[in-house]
Structure 1
């Protein structure tokens, strides 16, 4: 099957291209910018476009499928040519559904936690040599790609993103998967450029539940009031399985999970991660893994890339980076690190980087998000605000939004880097937490390792 990718360099798109190439498909693609690690990974398989740009002459009548990435615009020359030729054009999630419509589809949704939960499930399956198809939003230890597709596997595990499918298909991605087994981890308003009100955002999860196949299963986080409400109000014929944060203790920097066999040390920490673990357990049990086997496997799970990822440790000092950017995730991550290291000075640094976080009206959602930190730092780039064509965000707006008088604010990448390099690491120890979906204007995280 000959398949062409418009915007092949994206994180999700290049992984799908690699997966289809491994499956025996003939792959071509284009993009106007391809960064690492996509570039090297595509080049290694012979899939890197010879030159950057859009080339409508690549679009020919013998192409079986065109897959359109979110990065491509509606007036993309290759897309226009494909439409002119009447080729079958898929969004990324639409094509994944085509690949999985004869499988049992397990879809993990939620405003936060979905990558971690999906990663936990795949770790457990891999530990017990259960081969499944999958799509996950982070690179996992022990897995070559973020997408794996076969003809023979019975299950496919999909991370269900609520963002739009493509420039042509404005439905949220997770509306297209029609799960047999679904999970919702949490609902906290996000993507305000697409969902301008909280009610509109919540509605997407109600639609997601309605898309579960008749007789299917909904696993939901009953600790989240909004999730609990939409799950309990759903009337379609499905089975509902609630989960909640399990009992655990923290002793000498080690989290001990309460299990039927007694306290068990685990690698991940924080109430939100233990909550994620409880959801993953229900899913795994419905995929044929018994409780004892789940606990055996999850004890070795170290976390997904960029999700509370330890990047350095030296004596009493430790540094983590995390993808957290939404208010609820920032709050949960900050509390988790403080709970894990209560005797250390927690320096929490948050970059406001996304459309929502740089929106002056949305900023008030961050009130209290950094309260668990001993030292709270916010970084944002005025250039990023300009690029996203948003109204200017001021120091005063940020200070008022977080409602913290001692909040430290940086707008200059060099000044923020200088701050990190001259931190005083006191004798009682420091826990440095770097939260961002960006890189603080060019911060080299490898250099941070030398600071401790």
Structure 2
């Protein structure tokens, strides 16, 4: 197989290129910029483009496939040449399906919890010695790639609802046709892509209708919006498996869960993670695992990167970082920390970084999201607004949207540092929540400094 990647430097594109090269395919690629870690990874595999930029000469008759990344524009000269030659052109998810037509396809969708649920399934299958391929939105401990394509009989995919490519605007998860599907919940986000809530909901209805006949839908029945959507669009030719928070207890900061009579302690915590765990159990059960096998494996799961990831701790203070940025994710993370450490003061720092979260019209969606925090700050940088070419976001609009008394709204990095340096971290749990980088502020180094100085 001869395959050319347009935008080979993308975070998942370069991973797929490497996976297919390791499978024995002949891989070429191009991009107008390639950053680390993709650059070194491609170079080590011998498939780093010799020159940066687009060149229609890269597209020749005889290519079996051209895979188009999100970074490429519709007028890309290589794309135009591929169309002229009538070559097969695939978006990333379309090609994943091409490689997995004969596999049992597990696809995890939903507005939140996709990465963690997918990671849990992968971790359990790996611990159980099962052979499988995968596609996940983060690098996971024990896996050197975030994409792997072999001849395994099963593939586990994180399936998101955002556009597949520059020329294919339909959501990625519409192209994966699951045998086993998971829906973790629905919470409207990314209003730049989905301008109305009804349009957003429609994408999940389409996803349900893509489940293969005789397949399984595992869904979070505690999410009222999702439950209603499933019941309204129920099919007769698939099996339904609702799930909720499983039986559990919390003692001395450790959560213990019971799965079909089997009890085990966990390294992760929070109602949202217990929901993710229950979904993962139902998936692996369909794949033939026993409850005891699942419990043994999930007890060693330490979480996906930046998903309630422990940064630093001492006897008094603990620092976590989390990818949370959408309202439902922020609320779930805050409430999880409060429930796990009820005796500690909870300090929450949220960065607004996405198009939706920096949109004044979206602010009311955050009402109550930070209520469980004893002290809270919302940070956003003027630089982020400039890069996204968005209008000024007034502090008053943020305060009104969150509707939290004594909320600190900060839009300068120095002011954020000053606010943090004035906090009393004795007997506290601290949450840094963001999909960004706090305008260059090193939260991990700060956490380490505070916990080390207090010892």
Give the TM-score band, short-chain normalised: over 0.9
- Quickly say closer, same or farther: Cα 1:43–1:419, change in 2 above 3 A: farther
Q: Higher mean Cα deviation, 49-58 or 309-318?
A: 49-58
| Alpha-carbon distance in structure 2 between the residues aligned to 1:189 and 1:3 | 36
Query: How far off its partner does 1:34 sit?
Result: 2.2
Secondary structure at the aligned position of 2:351 is classed as strand
| Alpha-carbon distance in structure 1 between the residues aligned to 2:51 and 2:442 | 28
Q: Higher mean Cα deviation, 194-203 or 260-269?
A: 260-269
- Quickly say closer, same or farther: Cα 1:304–1:344, change in 2 above 3 A: same
| Alpha-carbon distance in structure 2 between the residues aligned to 1:93 and 1:23 | 18
Stretches of structure 2 lacking an aligned partner (at least 5 in a row): none
Secondary structure at the aligned position of 2:450 is classed as coil
Aligned match of 1:140: 140
Aligned match of 2:220: 221
Matched, 1:363 2:363: yes
Aligned match of 1:264: 264
Q: Higher mean Cα deviation, 363-372 or 377-386?
A: 377-386
| Alpha-carbon distance in structure 2 between the residues aligned to 1:410 and 1:40 | 37
Stretches of structure 1 lacking an aligned partner (at least 5 in a row): none
**Where do residues 283-294 of structure 1 align in structure 2 (5 Å cutoff)?**
283-294=283-294
| Alpha-carbon distance in structure 2 between the residues aligned to 1:143 and 1:331 | 30
Aligned match of 1:126: 126
**Where do residues 58-69 of structure 1 align in structure 2 (5 Å cutoff)?**
58-69=58-69
Give a deviation string over 1:88-123, Cα, whole Å, max 9, x none: 111000000100111111111100011111100000
- Does structure 2 conserve the Cα–Cα contact (< 8 Å) formed by 1:421 and 1:451? no
- Does structure 2 conserve the Cα–Cα contact (< 8 Å) formed by 1:257 and 1:265? yes
Q: Higher mean Cα deviation, 167-176 or 308-317?
A: 308-317
Matched, 1:178 2:189: no
Aligned match of 1:156: 155
Aligned match of 1:92: 92
Aligned match of 1:208: 207
- Does structure 2 conserve the Cα–Cα contact (< 8 Å) formed by 1:360 and 1:391? no
Query: How far off its partner does 1:442 sit?
Result: 1.4
Matched, 1:26 2:26: yes
- Does structure 1 conserve the Cα–Cα contact (< 8 Å) formed by 2:432 and 2:443? no
- Does structure 1 conserve the Cα–Cα contact (< 8 Å) formed by 2:109 and 2:181? yes
**Where do residues 232-271 of structure 1 align in structure 2 (5 Å cutoff)?**
232-236=231-235, 237-261=237-261, 263-271=263-271
Aligned match of 1:385: 385
- Quickly say closer, same or farther: Cα 1:22–1:243, change in 2 above 3 A: same
- Does structure 2 conserve the Cα–Cα contact (< 8 Å) formed by 1:346 and 1:374? yes
| Alpha-carbon distance in structure 2 between the residues aligned to 1:254 and 1:239 | 34
- Does structure 1 conserve the Cα–Cα contact (< 8 Å) formed by 2:258 and 2:264? yes
Aligned match of 1:81: 81
Query: How far off its partner does 1:81 sit?
Result: 2.1
Give a deviation string over 1:268-305, Cα, whole Å, max 9, x none: 10001001101110000001111111111111111111
| Alpha-carbon distance in structure 2 between the residues aligned to 1:102 and 1:336 | 39
Aligned length: 449
- Does structure 1 conserve the Cα–Cα contact (< 8 Å) formed by 2:263 and 2:295? no
- Does structure 1 conserve the Cα–Cα contact (< 8 Å) formed by 2:318 and 2:429? yes
- Does structure 2 conserve the Cα–Cα contact (< 8 Å) formed by 1:133 and 1:149? yes
| Alpha-carbon distance in structure 2 between the residues aligned to 1:30 and 1:79 | 11
Secondary structure at the aligned position of 2:182 is classed as strand
Query: How far off its partner does 1:398 sit?
Result: 0.2
Secondary structure at the aligned position of 1:72 is classed as coil
| Alpha-carbon distance in structure 2 between the residues aligned to 1:188 and 1:46 | 42
Query: How far off its partner does 1:373 sit?
Result: 0.8
Q: Higher mean Cα deviation, 189-198 or 384-393?
A: 384-393
| Alpha-carbon distance in structure 2 between the residues aligned to 1:405 and 1:111 | 28
Secondary structure at the aligned position of 1:16 is classed as helix
Q: Higher mean Cα deviation, 38-47 or 397-406?
A: 38-47
| Alpha-carbon distance in structure 1 between the residues aligned to 2:335 and 2:410 | 22
Secondary structure at the aligned position of 1:437 is classed as coil
Q: Higher mean Cα deviation, 156-165 or 47-56?
A: 47-56
Report the RMSD for the aligned CA atoms in angstroms: 1.5
TM-score under structure 1 normalisation? 0.96
